[in-house]
Amino acid sequence: MARPTPLSGFPEWLPADRIVEQHVLAALQRTFELHGFAGIETRAVEPLDQLLRKGETSKEVYVLRRLQEDTPWTTAAEAVDAARAADDRQLGLHFDLTVPFARYVLENAGHLAFPFKRYQVQKVWRGERPQDGRFREFVQADIDVVGAGELPGHYEVELPLVIAEALGSLASIGMPPVRIMVNNRRVAEGFYRGLGLDDVDAVLRSIDKLDKIGPDAVAELLVAEAAATPEQATACLDLAAISGADTGVVDRVRDLAARHGVVSDLLETGLGELRALVAAAAQRAPGVVVADLRIARGLDYYTGSVYETVLVGHEGLGSICSGGRYDTLASDGATTYPGVGLSVGVSRLVSRLLSAGLVRASRSVPSAVVVAVTSEDTRAVSDAVATALRARGIPVEVAPTAAKFGKQIRYADRRGVPFVWFPGLPAGTADDGSTVGATADQVKDIRSGEQVEADPATWEPPAADRWPQVVPAV
């Protein structure tokens, strides 16, 4: 077969880059677990009718079909119709982890303790046109907390702070700081309705385009699509222009509302929630969380706080972590399960960390040591050294062949393995002229060339060399 070419939108990493991704995932997981989130995983597929509940995402779904199914395939339109019929089990790949989680909660409600805090790290699939930072297959890392019937508002404060801590823990590997921008749907809805604009979704959809098309075009959109007067459109844009990292933003929104004669209990409720979030964040993650009244979030299921996150200096990449409060995503009729959650776009983040040359792994393999093989007849001696080192948690591999020692050293060097171990055997001389073997084992740091006698039962590599390190690339 000819050499295959990559599939656009389906990223894969070389081994050293995969070590970076594994480090990012492990750091996120550790923070989530320190905060008591339980890890779950859901299947990759959901019934198509579930995936299509929110019509506007339907374009992104990959539908599955077994190759040997008896029934002939239908057109795409027929597939949608069929899936919407009650007992059709046509399957599609999930496009996020929120819809599967809502289904998991309903399916297992009797076995879960509420409020239920979970994290979930999995691939998702969207049949979109691939772009920089936008993939067809990518990894998301989600945290959510879901209550049965009710969910206290303090979780809307807690969850973005967990994300701030998780992403902040990556500063040591060279990741830039993040800015988490927060808003509250109740503020926006209360303000719009108080202005006299009742098609709140249309206003949000227009405001959501600010970054892409600018304020003038958004003003036109508001007039055209949300039935706004030019004055109402200006007021919406004035609201969207408010941002700040302290509770002063709340006062500015209130002033703006007063100037336009807006009186709204919903607005007041939202402002109280926004104030609590900003105040807590200023104390617990200073400089990270910013109230930004422009944040709209396209999805219509959010009902309270909403969040978007940018990598400072890489704002053009788009949000690397988004989410919000939802009150009605999951309901089995008897009970509604409100929740709040955020989703980290791991592939988007890792892809940028690598392509921008910010982060690298110190080597491409786990091994800290390559044990040399003097001759195939004595491979068992080398295997025994490796076994002794591994028994003390040192990652080791044995050289593939009893080549000249110079070649065995190059085997280690090409992979970035720092140490080569020469088992104690009848004395010999390595390619580089150093004495090897004799009676005692010797270990060589191939970076410095330093070679010392060593005992596999006691030798330790420096702590920084034991496992591959993920470090700033510059």
Of residues 275 through 294, those in contact with a copy of itself by CB under 8 A are 280, 284
Instruction: Select the residue interacting with a copy of itself from 20, 24, 27, 92 (CB under 8 A).
Output: 92
Which one of 150-158, 180-188, 312-320, 438-446 is the stretch in contact with a copy of itself (CB under 8 A)? 150-158
Q: With the CA atoms of 117, 121, 126 and 132 taken in that order, what torsion angle do they form, in degrees rounded to the nearest 10?
A: 120
**For a copy of itself, the closer CB: 331 or 435:** 331
**For a copy of itself, the closer CB: 55 or 426:** 55
Instruction: Select the residue interacting with a copy of itself from 54, 56, 59, 263 (CB under 8 A).
Output: 59
Q: Which residues contact 144 (CB under 8 A, 6 or more apart)?
A: 98, 101, 117, 118, 120, 159, 339, 340, 341, 342
Q: What is the residue whose two structure tokens read 């000249």?
A: 404
Which one of 149-157, 228-236, 307-315, 448-456 is the stretch in contact with a copy of itself (CB under 8 A)? 149-157
**How far is residue 430's CA from residue 405's CA, in Å, rounded to a whole number?**
5
Which one of 108-116, 228-236, 238-246, 260-268 is the stretch in contact with a copy of itself (CB under 8 A)? 108-116
In the structure encoding, which two tokens stand for residue 264, read together? Answer: 């709204």
**For a copy of itself, the closer CB: 396 or 454:** 396
In the structure encoding, which two tokens stand for residue 124, read together? Answer: 């998702």
**Is 123 among the residues that bind a copy of itself (CB under 8 A)?**
yes
**Is 394 among the residues that bind a copy of itself (CB under 8 A)?**
yes
**391, 412, 413, 448, 461 from 465: Cα distances, Å:** 17, 14, 14, 14, 6
**Is 129 among the residues that bind a copy of itself (CB under 8 A)?**
no
Pairing of strands 369-371, 419-422: parallel
Instruction: Select the residue interacting with a copy of itself from 254, 260, 379, 407 (CB under 8 A).
Output: 379
**How far is residue 236's CA from residue 233's CA, in Å, rounded to a whole number?**
5
**Is 261 among the residues that bind a copy of itself (CB under 8 A)?**
no
Q: Return the sign of the alpha-carbon dihedral for residues 219, 223, 227, 232.
A: positive
Which one of 4-12, 186-194, 224-232, 286-294 is the stretch in contact with a copy of itself (CB under 8 A)? 4-12
Residue type for 455, please?
D
Residue type for 214, please?
G
| DSSP-assigned letter for residue 8 | T
**How far is residue 232's CA from residue 235's CA, in Å, rounded to a whole number?**
5
**Is 43 among the residues that bind a copy of itself (CB under 8 A)?**
yes
* Least spacing, CB of residue 8 vs a copy of itself, in Å: 10
In the structure encoding, which two tokens stand for residue 217, read together? Answer: 């075009």
**Is 149 among the residues that bind a copy of itself (CB under 8 A)?**
no
**Is 55 among the residues that bind a copy of itself (CB under 8 A)?**
no
Instruction: Select the residue interacting with a copy of itself from 96, 144, 156, 397 (CB under 8 A).
Output: 397
Instruction: Select the residue interacting with a copy of itself from 169, 193, 390, 422 (CB under 8 A).
Output: 390
Which one of 14-22, 221-229, 267-275, 292-300 is the stretch in contact with a copy of itself (CB under 8 A)? 14-22
Which one of 245-253, 352-360, 372-380, 437-445 is the stretch in contact with a copy of itself (CB under 8 A)? 372-380
> Strands across the sheet with 321-331, in order?
38-39, 116-125, 137-146, 336-345, 321-331, 302-311, 178-184, 289-292, 243-244
CB count within 10 Å of CB 134 equals 17
* Least spacing, CB of residue 360 vs a copy of itself, in Å: 14
* Least spacing, CB of residue 284 vs a copy of itself, in Å: 8
